[in-house]
Amino acid sequence: MRKSVDTARSTAITGISRLVTNDPGAGPGALGIVEDAAVVIEGDRIVWVGPSSAVPPADIGFDAAGRAVLPGWVDSHSHLLFAGDRSAEFSARMAGQPYAAGGILTTVTATREASTPDLAARLDRRIAEMVAGGTTCIETKTGYGLTTVDEARSASLAAAAGVDVVTFLGAHLTAPEFASDPDSYVDLVCGPMLDAVAPNVQFIDVFCEEGAFDEPRTRRILAAGMRKGLGLKVHGNQLGEGAGVRIAVDCGAVSVDHCTYLSDRDIDLLGGSSTVATLLPVCDLSTRQAPAPGRRLIDAGATVALASNCNPGSCYTPSMALAVALAVIQCGLTADEAVAAATVGGARALARTDVGVVAVGKRADLHVLDAPSHDYLAYRVGLPMTHAVWRAGVRAV
């Protein structure tokens, strides 16, 4: 692992066997693939993309030696702000227990008890793990504090750690102190808690599921976030069919995440809307649920994103490479569709246009695979595939 601090100098990455640009103008197909390509970056931006034979001079050279290069992964759904350990819960699940959202409260207790330096150090380690696997744009949620002070602490730690997008998830579960009066908890989330986190967050999210937040409460919380100028996200249809997709589409949410249990109507709604269907296939695997209907969503015209859902309960890994492999092997996406969903699809789920694409003027987020093409991500599932990474122009791996 090497970190460069001199981001003002230009770097030419040459010898790229296949460059995925996600810029259809750059080459054939939706991925805009350029064969035998080069990319030049300067500061935190991409300044040149084209054939290796025509690359302009640069201060530093990097020979990809026949490897593939992709935009860095855009991980649009994770829960990195937590303390504690739930490995026993995972083992119990492997022994036959079902996944239950109630485990979230175990993490809430541990997170509240953690010192701020401890929580910050845990967050830094998780970010480093993500970047080591090729993730260059990171979204994380609050949601394991569930008091005004603890949610505000999580939001400010995430912003300070250089997380790209922070999402307020005070509506992860009703805080235990409000178990007998959930509407007062919703008042808190929509009022003082939202005010306290607002300076550090861009989105608001609600876990809309049986046992978490019902439709009227979900709508109230989303409306409060919208009044505050935040983008909307919904955790929906994770543990069963429900109102999550319908509410997300109706409210103009930028994404609805999980989408494991979808009715035909949900698929039609997503196919006809701009709300991104974010699939979390490693979570479905780790909770022993059926794979999400990715093929049907794409065939219906939905925009699909893939994300890690790294969290201590349902999915404790940040591996986007595994998410891509499972999307191909289990959800029926092609390798091209899965790579697009994990890059430009994630960018859409975060309403970002500066990441997920390799083109002049975009952020210099590049992922050199240790393979000649992105097809190998599923073909050689489980193998470490990251050879080098630039995040915002800084060499991180």
> Which residues line the annotated binding site?
77, 79, 86, 144, 172, 235, 238, 309, 311, 313-314
Other CB atoms within 10 Å distance of the CB of residue 89? 18
* Angle, alpha carbons 211-213-214 (nearest 5°): 95
Number of residues lying near ligand NIG (CB under 6 A): 14
Is residue 36 within 8 Å of 16, Cβ to Cβ?
yes
76 lies in the binding site for ligand NIG (CB under 6 A):
no
314 lies in the binding site for ligand NIG (CB under 6 A):
yes
| Pairing of the two strands 394-395 and 203-208 | unpaired
Q: How many CA atoms lie within 13 A of 236 on its CB side?
A: 30
Q: 266 forms bridges with which residues in the sheet?
A: none
111 lies in the binding site for ligand NIG (CB under 6 A):
no
Among 44-52, 98-106, 124-132, 340-348, the segment contacting ligand NIG (CB under 6 A): 98-106
Instruction: Give residues with Cβ within 8 angstroms of 195, minimum separation 6.
Output: none
Q: Which is nearer to ligand NIG, 313 or 345 (CB)?
A: 313
235 lies in the binding site for ligand NIG (CB under 6 A):
yes
Task: Pick the binder of ligand NIG from 311, 319, 343, 386 (CB under 6 A).
Answer: 311
**Per the annotation, where are the binding residues for Fe(3+)?**
77, 79, 235, 309
Report, in Å, the least distance between residue 271 CB and ligand NIG. Answer: 23
Task: Pick the binder of ligand NIG from 17, 136, 142, 238 (CB under 6 A).
Answer: 238
312 lies in the binding site for ligand NIG (CB under 6 A):
yes
Is residue 143 within 8 Å of 212, Cβ to Cβ?
no
371 lies in the binding site for ligand NIG (CB under 6 A):
no
Is residue 145 within 8 Å of 151, Cβ to Cβ?
yes
Q: Which is nearer to ligand NIG, 156 or 238 (CB)?
A: 238
What is the spatial distance between Cα 192 and Cα 170, in angstroms, rounded to a whole number?
Answer: 11
145 lies in the binding site for ligand NIG (CB under 6 A):
no
Separation in Å, CA 182 to CA 79, 185, 189, 321: 23, 5, 11, 39
Residues near ligand NIG (CB under 6 A) are: 79, 101, 103-104, 107, 207, 235, 238, 283, 309, 311-314
